[in-house]
Structure 1
Amino acid sequence: METIEEKLLTSEARYRRLFEAALDGILILNFETGQIEDANPFLINLLGFSHEEFLGKRLWEVGAFADLPEAKNMFSRLQERGYVRYEHLPLKASNGSLIDVEFISNSYDCEGVQVIQCNIRDIRYRAEAERIKARHLKEMKAALLSAVELAMEIGELRDPYTVGHEKNVALIAVAIGKELGLSEHMLDSLKFSGLLHDIGKIAVPIEILSKPGKISPSEFELVKTHPVEGYNILSRMNWPWPLATVAYQHHERLDGSGYPLGLKGGEIIPEAKIIGVADVVEAMTSHRPYRPAIGIENVMAELELGRGVTYDSDAVDACLTLFREKNFTF
Structure 2
Amino acid sequence: MPFDLSLDYVILFERLFDNSPEGVVIQGLDGVVYKANRAFCEMFGYTLEEVVGKDLDNLVATDENLRSEASRRTSSAAMGEQLMFESIRQKKDGTKFHVLAFGVPITSEGEVVAIYGMYRDISDRKMAEEALQRSEERYRAIVQQQQEVIVRYSPDWSITFANDAYCRYYQTTPEEILGSPMTTHIPEKYRKKTLERLTNLTPESPTVISEEETILPSGEICWQQWFDTALFDSEGNIVEYQSVGRDITERKQMEESLRVSSDRLERVLDETVRVLAGTMRIRDVYTADHQEGVAQLVRAMGEEMGLPEDVLKGLWMAALIHDIGKLHIPGEILNKPTTLTPLEYEIVKRHPEVGAETLRGISFPWPIAQIISQHHERMDGSGYPRGLRGRQILPEVRILSVADVMEAMCSHRPFRPA
Decide: shared fold, TM above 0.5: yes
More strand by share: 2
Deviation at 1:33, TM superposition (A): 6.8
Q: Name 1:311's counterpart in structure 2.
A: none
Q: Name 1:74's counterpart in structure 2.
A: 197
Q: Name 1:136's counterpart in structure 2.
A: 261
| Counterpart code for 2:146 | A
Structure 1, unaligned runs of 5 or more: 293-330
Q: Verify: 1:64 aligned to 2:186, yes or no.
A: yes
| Counterpart code for 1:20 | Q
Q: Name 2:207's counterpart in structure 1.
A: 84
Q: Name 2:143's counterpart in structure 1.
A: 19
Deviation at 1:91, TM superposition (A): 4.7
Deviation at 1:142, TM superposition (A): 1.9
Deviation at 1:70, TM superposition (A): 4.3
Deviation at 1:118, TM superposition (A): 1.4
* More RCO (CA 8 Å, sep 6+): 1
| Counterpart code for 1:132 | S
RMSD over aligned Cα atoms: 3.7
Deviation at 1:241, TM superposition (A): 0.7
Question: Which stretch shifts more, 245-254 or 147-156?
Answer: 147-156
**Alpha-carbon spacing, 1:157–1:75, altered in 2? closer, same or farther (3 Å):** closer
Deviation at 1:290, TM superposition (A): 2.1
* Matched pairs, number: 286
What is the 5 A alignment of 1:39-188?
A: 39-47=162-170, 50-56=173-179, 59=182, 62=184, 64=186, 68-91=191-214, 100-106=223-229, 116-188=241-313
Q: Which has the larger radius of gyration?
A: 2
Distance 1:259 1:207 in 2: 22
Distance 2:178 2:363 in 1: 56
Deviation at 1:189, TM superposition (A): 0.8
Deviation at 1:240, TM superposition (A): 1.0
Q: What secondary structure sits across from 1:80 in the alignment? A: coil
Q: Name 1:220's counterpart in structure 2.
A: 345
1:272 aligned to which of 390, 397, 400:
397
Q: Verify: 1:251 aligned to 2:376, yes or no.
A: yes
Q: Name 1:323's counterpart in structure 2.
A: none
TM-score, length-normalised on structure 1? Answer: 0.70
**Alpha-carbon spacing, 1:205–1:15, altered in 2? closer, same or farther (3 Å):** farther
Contact 1:161 1:210 in 2 (8 A): no
Deviation at 1:58, TM superposition (A): 6.5
Deviation at 1:209, TM superposition (A): 0.7
Contact 2:287 2:323 in 1 (8 A): no
Q: What secondary structure sits across from 2:381 in the alignment? A: coil
1:211 aligned to which of 331, 336, 360:
336
Deviation at 1:74, TM superposition (A): 3.3
Deviation at 1:87, TM superposition (A): 3.3
Distance 2:153 2:289 in 1: 65
Q: What secondary structure sits across from 2:251 in the alignment? A: helix
2:160 aligned to which of 19, 24, 37:
37
TM-score, length-normalised on structure 2? Answer: 0.57
**Alpha-carbon spacing, 1:78–1:217, altered in 2? closer, same or farther (3 Å):** same
Question: Which stretch shifts more, 67-76 or 35-44?
Answer: 67-76
Distance 1:228 1:271 in 2: 17
Deviation at 1:53, TM superposition (A): 4.6
Contact 1:36 1:54 in 2 (8 A): yes
**Alpha-carbon spacing, 1:196–1:161, altered in 2? closer, same or farther (3 Å):** closer
Distance 1:277 1:52 in 2: 71
Distance 1:74 1:27 in 2: 16
Structure 2, unaligned runs of 5 or more: 1-126, 233-238
More helix by share: 1
Q: Verify: 1:283 aligned to 2:405, yes or no.
A: no
**Alpha-carbon spacing, 1:53–1:178, altered in 2? closer, same or farther (3 Å):** farther
